[in-house]
A and B are shown apart, each in its own frame.
Chain A
Amino acid sequence: MNFNIFELLGSALSGTLLDILPIILVLGFFQLIAIRKHIPNLKQKLIGLVLVVLGLGIFIVGLEQCVFPIGTHMARQLTDLSFLAGNDSARLEVLQNSKHIAPGLYLWTYVFAFFIGFSTTLAEPALIAVAYKARDITTGAISAWGLRIAVALGVAGGVTLGVYRIVTGNPLHYYIVTGYALLLIQTWFAPKLIIPLAYDSGGVTTSTVTVPLIAALGIGLASNVPGRSPLIDGFGLIAFASLFPMFTVMAYAMITEKRTKRKEIDEPS
């Protein structure tokens, strides 16, 4: 262990106490001034608050000590020149002498980005809850699994394209602005009921663990690919991961709608 865990925890705890303070003030103020009622089960709520501060402190230390290093580390290994050359010393020499590396060589980075995006989103608890709610509201027209796979594919595709952008160094806003335009066009054709859910799904799916990991991957890639700046090119993966699920969720709703209509034509009741 080459870091002092207690020192880190101590500073993290005092930091999180300050971070949580605004919520306590807001809830306390509105409870006493606007609603003018006492909080029921005050003791249990206070214990809960202590747990929030304690858990958040430990969690942030873990994020900084583990999740962030893993992300940057994977990025460094996957973009390592000797890994790209596949232990071929002649190719390694060519790569070391060239200033520009063909984007196609980073194939494993794209595959990694896809799987990290897909697997973490599929396990996302917030998404599971939203998917069940959507299934109940639409009485099964939107299946929970269908929605989860649609969102997971969206995040996976988004992160992969985002990684490709970092490797090539294209300006981020070209991609995002084009994405917005396509999104508005697709909204025109999508079933009305799905639109708010689709637009929310972009923000909901990127969770507390996934966000630092994907951000670290982007910063790590931008630090290691020749010619990229971590500040300018390293960010942007989260933006892709929030944009793409909107496409796939609307596409999923359009496909189910079409299928239900065809069924109705095939089997007139």
Chain B
Amino acid sequence: MAEKITLNMITQRAIEEGQAMEKGKTTPEYFQACSIVEMNPKDMKKLGIWRNTNVRVTSEAGSVIVKAIEPTQFVPPGLAHIRQGVWANQVVPPRTQSTGVPQYSGFPVTIEPAINERIKSALELVQGAVGIWKGGN
């Protein structure tokens, strides 16, 4: 059992995310759809966590607490997926290889258990990042 593991992260669309986004990014549906990381059960075992455990995902750009779930669409060991959106973009590196497009897919992250940590809401993450978060939900 490792304290943390390094995985290759991709962030892409999901229909659950699309539907929740149109309902509103401050809704519980959006929170539920996007504040997750999908990883292979073998990687969860390596990390010594159960499914639905909160984890800290850290990249060169930052870190975020999300819930580790079993993949809704199969993810092989070594790969991890956060649905595009607020939580994913806390860790997406802004480097663009001079094309304008940030590294949304294919960047290394470390994942460690964070059982007692709270998953922040979308507003808290974005408003917090720019220094105007006032608390509440």
Decide whether A and B assemble into one complex. Answer: no
